[in-house]
Chains A and B, each alone.
Chain A
Amino acid sequence: MAITKLARKHWLLIAFLALCFIYPFVIDSRYYTRVAMEVFFFAAMGNAWNIIGGYGRQTSWASSTFVAVGAYTSILLFVRYGGISPWISILPAMGLAVLLAVIIGLPCFRMRGVYFAIATIACTTIFRQLLIYFEGFTGGSLGVAFMIRRGNSFWNLHFDSVVPFYFIALAWLLITVGIVTYIERNRLGHYLRAICDDQDAAESLGIKSSRVKLTAFIISAMLLSLTGVLYVFQLGFVDPNTFASHNMSVRIAIVAILGGMGNKWGPTVGALVTIPLLELSNAYLQHVGGGGAGWVMYGLLIVVIVLFKPNGIISLFDNVSFGKKKLGGGASV
């Protein structure tokens, strides 16, 4: 009885999961499996962004920094220090992400609105230029790549097929959704929503807004860093333009914003729309204007959503039950 009730409440989620599980076997195409995996990775990064950007409405453009920290730490430890397993590198990667989140967060959270946005962009730029400058260690603007790796090894995160990565990405996405749900239901989530509604009112009630925002930022940074570790071992190389660019930050944030800020399924929906759009147009329209066509559509999609559906694509499904009533809402800062 309880199970049927649960199933009725979450039918959409169950259907989606079932679809995800059979997808790589039905499709049986390396390319389309890779696109779906990309969707999961970006949805996970969108979830991480959503904690600070969606629930707290602190539009951070520093995400790429944390993804790059995870990616660089793990690949450098693997390549330069005799193949240290990515599962071990997760610890230093997350530690460094926490450190950077504090360094970036302390000054930035003293600012509001557009000042905050510009300050996070400035920090990302500084970090990227430093990565390029210290080329002896980081490989400069060319980055670092793995030596040729063969065979399947879970310990070293290398597989000949893309399917295991597909399931790792899916699992990681579900974990991030779980973490976001947990935050949403607990004190941090309530504090963040209070700050997002009215920071001064929240502070007058005794919420220390900078500490709450910093905590959320640190959690977000840790999740981004871990995604960076997984992502780089799938991709096989790291360079500043792929990982540490402003473009990457924008793509991560857009996933959450288009899908629906402050909604735990928002980033997943956003990633399902934007990533295939970009990937497929890159694949099929690459000869049209040097690959610009997909990005034009992407830009137009952002414009249209901001103008007509500021609560994101997920607000189209407001009548569909996702098992919990809509949270967040109004697009105010």
Chain B
Amino acid sequence: MTTTTKPAAPVATTPARRVGPVALGLRQGRLEITQFLRSRESVVFTMGFPVIMILIFAAIFNDEIAPGVSYTQYFITGMIATGLMTVSFQNLGIWIPIERDRGVLKRYRGTPMPKWVYFAGKVLMVVAIGVAETLLLLAVSVAFFDLDLPATAGRWLTFGWVSVLGVTACTLCGIAISSLARTARSGSAVVTPVALVLQFISGVFFVFTELPSWMQQVAALFPLKWMCQGLRSVFLPDSFGGQEPAGSFELGRVALVLAAWCVIGLVLCLTTFRWTTRRDG
């Protein structure tokens, strides 16, 4: 082998065919969704959990909480909110540390892929799975537990913006909390207790106003309580607003708190996200 007389690298003859930014994001989203759907644990525990919960709880508590209003009508709001939090906050908080530990993130960083593409892929996955899961929940509840779907366009609109804001906040917080886990395994240990505690104090399993008031106040600091409250305004009669802690569904405050969490989550993501493990420098 000679050292100096090798031919120069062949000049590229084909025109540049790098995928455009939109297509780049969509490809990444498709890759993430494929990986999610092929992972049995993800499908069962992330997507299946709320459906299993509603099957159990609605079967146990099959009486009415008010004349003409079934328990399911209340419980569905907590399950939709939990489902959205699971698919965004828990899913990302558990999987990103695994990918970081395996070196998937490091490998991406070694390619010309812009950083945002990785997050775009995660967001598309969260949105697709979140929509599918919510539709599944609604279908199961309508089919087996006589759930009444929102009757007015205004309620569907509220359903839409509460879900979008809630998922955005939870996605950003999930990405942010992923940096706390030092190893692949600790992701679930960091995220699961947080999610579980929030579910209990935010009125997912119990009627929120029946919780001790200090618990209500702690819950009010976090997004899940406000997601549940916003969704209650969608699925329960307007008269139920009077039973909320503040005497109304407080949709303005719901929007404000969720938006604030979006900002907090975004700042944490931008300042703390790590592409490599700690031992990796």
Tell me, yes or no, whether A binds B.
no
**Chain A residues engaging chain B, CB cutoff 8 angstroms:** none
**Chain B residues engaging chain A, CB cutoff 8 angstroms:** none
